Chain A
Amino acid sequence: MDAILLQILNGLDKGGAYALIALGLTLAFGTLGVVNFAHGALFMLGAFCAVTFNKLLSLEQVILDPIKKTAWGTPLEIRSPYIEAWLGDFGALLVDYSVPVSILVTIPIMLLVGVIMERGLIRHFYNRPHADQILVTFGLAIVLQEIIKHYFGANPIPQTAPSIVSGSANVGLWLGLGENLVYPWWRLVYFAFSAVVIFGVFAFLKFTTFGMVVRAGMFDRQTVGLLGINIQKKFTIVFGLAAVVAGVAGAMYTPILPPDYHIGMDFLVLSFVVVVVGGMGSLGGAVTAGFLLGMLQSFSSMNEIKSIFPGIDQIIIYLVAVVILLTMPRGLMGRKGVMED
């Protein structure tokens, strides 16, 4: 029982990441009709926003201690982040909280990236075949990840969660299941965060006029265009929104998985599978499938299951995707008429 619960929990944070990426992919696909293979790279860029933010905050000043000497007789170096020197305790707090605070920086940066991408590239591919869209965004993804690799190197860069949530939550005690079921706090935070973002996006689409137009656009692009609504501008904003969602998803994920330059590609392939399983163009489907597949993946990595089907954890998502596509061609919640004929 504990084991099963633990796997459900394990699936939540990964599922959250899948759901957030898939959400952006679906938004871009549903409204703009663009298949964006560079969406994983946006996730990666978000992660490196957090990394850069942390690096900037931890830039250290070196002061030579006037009294104390090292064993070699040289003056002792005191290293401390500039930010601490300037802002005192608040600075130290900021360094500690660098990952969640980095979101404040990530949002505008990713919005900018998204807008530039849409204006500069994606826009010119609305009327090109899907194969061209796939290819050009694939090329863009390579370019983005190689740039990151150039500046940050090939190795993963670990980030730490704020110390207050760096331990583990005793989930078992909460649920009255004994003390054996513990779970890292940050993963719970990530799950809650992804849930908030998802609800935010849904509320935005549901309750604002802008959201209504976007939803109408997802339903029938031509008609909305005919209504005389400036759809171009809206497309740009939608794409920016998708980029922001992917970016913050990436930034917050850094304490769970140290980001490297190809984290985006790794997540992208899975997220595409998530989108396809959920149903192309269905936001609800993307979110549901994201969590579902996340949990399925963690279940299949249980030793009990791996001993029966060795390697199943490696392929379960793809396997499910293939089965779903063959039995339910439109995915779990796909609408008729999307990407057909």
Chain B
Amino acid sequence: MNGNSARGDWLLLIIFAAVVLTAPFTLSYIGAGYPDLLQKFAIFGIFAIGFNILFGLTGYLSFGHAAFLGVGSYASVWMFKLFTMNVIPAVLFSVTIAGIFALMIGFVSLRRSGIYFSIITLAFAQMSYNLAYSVLSPITNGETGLQVRHLAPTDRGPDYVLKLVDEDLRWIDQAFGVVEDGIPITNLFGIKMSGFEGFYFCAVLLIIGFFISIRISRSNFGMMLRAIKSNQNRLNYTGINTRPYLLAAFVISGMYAGLAGSLLAVTDPLAGAERMQWTASGEVVLMTITGGAGTLIGPVLGATIIKYFENIFSAINEGILQNLFSFMPEGLMDIFVAVVGMFVGKGWHLTLGLLFMVIVIFLPGGLMEGVRRIGNLFRRSSKSAAPQPSSQAAE
């Protein structure tokens, strides 16, 4: 809460931006320097930062945040289909729609707290998921998923509305006379949003998102949110109406999720209902707690680590394992391949579940907590027992 920590925050932001922007080079050393994966890091980083604003600051555990991610994806794809392949309108529209959606769901679910809140948000997400698969098929294209398609023939009659899922209009692009050859790619005023360009677009939004989350956690609003987590009842008796604060946090984190969903559609213009499933909601919880809920960098770190290991683990197949253990005698090798094989490839989710348990059991504060503990150990042993800084709670 002093000038020092404000300067520290700027430094943090600059370092963060530098790390993110140089990621294509630095991460190539660990085999993660290619655009598809980097995009995922950035996108899920945004998702986790937003989730952390709700869960990390207020302690309200939402099990339905994937719904906002899904809504964001659908909204963006529709913008691509109807108006333009330029990503700006799509991103803005997605964030807005996700915000409105979060406002409605939050208004209802924030009337309860604790486990009730978790279950209501879960119910809402599951409801959205079911609807996306069934009745809302004209909007979501059901199981197939919503995709960017070729343009509708110009002589299409008034029944074009019924064909929208399969045939696009792109009114704005058409008004500007954009010529399409096959199915078009998303762009930012002509810059194709695939590959590294796509990553840098996501990266810039990630940095902005990170900046906003720093501002929020240092602000009056952020302090109120932390006070809610600490003792909501007391806060009420202190003259604070906690519900609008919670609703604001819920909507903001829903908008982050919408942005992440939109970026998923930007980098790969396809939206499916499985993005809304509650296991997807569980994944963002895992990312946040892995890194450290309530910390600034933790969620991004968690998202990166989870997505990185997902990428590595799911790529490993039996052949690779056999190579790896080929130094062993035949029988032993088979056993090792069988056992390790449970955890890699399609078994990645098993590893994920175990990781989940291990983190909650042994390191509830996440990796950032671990870093802090090691730091404390180091500080104590070097006898420079400086008093804890005040902003420790929000770091």
Which residues of A are interface residues toward B (Cβ below 8 A)? Answer: 35, 121, 124, 128, 130-132, 134-136, 138-143, 146-147, 150, 265, 269, 272-273, 276, 280, 310-311, 314-315, 318-319, 321-322, 325-326, 329, 339, 341
Contact = CB atoms under 8 A, between A and B. Distances in A.
Contact of A134 (B115, B133, B353): B115
B356 interface: yes
Given A135-B360, A311-B131, A315-B130, A142 B349 contact: yes
Given A311-B136, A321-B123, A322-B120, A139 B356 contact: yes
A326 B105 CA distance: 12
Contacts of B353: 139-143, 146
A143 B120 contact: no
A21 to B, nearest CB: 14
B118 A134 contact: yes
A68 B347 CA distance: 46
B203 to A, nearest CB: 29
B59 interface: yes
B317 interface: no
Interface string B157-195: 000000000000000000000000000000000000000
B340 interface: no
Interface residues of B, number: 43
B27 interface: no
11 contacts: A131-B59, A139-B355, A142-B353, A146-B347, A311-B131, A311-B135, A314-B131, A321-B120, A322-B108, A322-B124, A325-B112
Q: Which of B115, B347, B361 lies at the interface centre, i.e. has the most chain A CB atoms within 10 A of its CB?
A: B115
B378 interface: no
Contacts of B227: none
Given A139-B353, A315-B130, A341-B233, A265 B279 contact: yes
B322 interface: no
Interface in B294-312: none
B134 interface: yes
Contact of B350 (A146, A310, A321, A322): A146
Interface residue SS majority, chain B: helix
B352 interface: yes
Nearest to A275: B119
Given A150-B342, A269-B123, A326-B108, A314 B130 contact: yes
B116 interface: yes
A27 to B, nearest CB: 16
Given A314-B131, A314-B134, A130 B360 contact: no
Contacts of B286: 139
A124 to B, nearest CB: 7
Q: Which 10 A-B pairs have the closest CB atoms?
A: A311-B135, A142-B353, A139-B356, A146-B350, A314-B130, A143-B353, A139-B357, A318-B123, A318-B127, A136-B360
Max chain A CB contacts within 10 Å: which of B122, B123, B279? Answer: B123
A132 B136 CA distance: 35
B368 to A, nearest CB: 17
Given A136-B360, A146-B347, A325-B116, A314 B135 contact: yes
Contacts of A150: 342, 347, 350
B364 A318 contact: no
B135 A272 contact: no
A329 B357 contact: no
A142 B134 contact: no
Interface in B352-392: 352-357, 360-361, 364
Nearest to B285: A135
B282 interface: yes
Contact of B111 (A124, A280, A326): A326
Contacts of A142: 279, 282, 349-350, 352-353, 356
Given A124-B361, A142-B352, A150-B342, A315 B116 contact: no
Interface in B4-20: none
A143 B133 CA distance: 26
A139 B285 CA distance: 11
Interface string B41-67: 000000000000000000101010000
A138 B281 CA distance: 11
A306 B357 CA distance: 42
Contact of B115 (A35, A141, A322): A35
A322 to B, nearest CB: 6
Contact of A276 (B119, B133, B350): B119
B126 interface: yes
B342 A139 contact: no
Given A135-B360, A142-B349, A311-B136, 8 more contacts: A128-B364, A138-B282, A139-B353, A139-B360, A146-B347, A146-B353, A265-B278, A321-B119
B347 A143 contact: no
Interface in B213-240: 233
A149 B76 CA distance: 34
B289 interface: yes
Contacts of B89: none
A278 B364 CA distance: 32
B8 to A, nearest CB: 29
A325 B110 CA distance: 11
Contacts of A35: 115
B52 to A, nearest CB: 13
A101 to B, nearest CB: 30
Interface in B316-346: 342
Contacts of A341: 233
Contact of A315 (B59, B120, B127, B285): B127
A134 B61 contact: yes
Contacts of A311: 130-131, 134-136
Contact of B354 (A135, A143, A314): A143
A152 to B, nearest CB: 13
A35 B357 CA distance: 15
B225 to A, nearest CB: 16
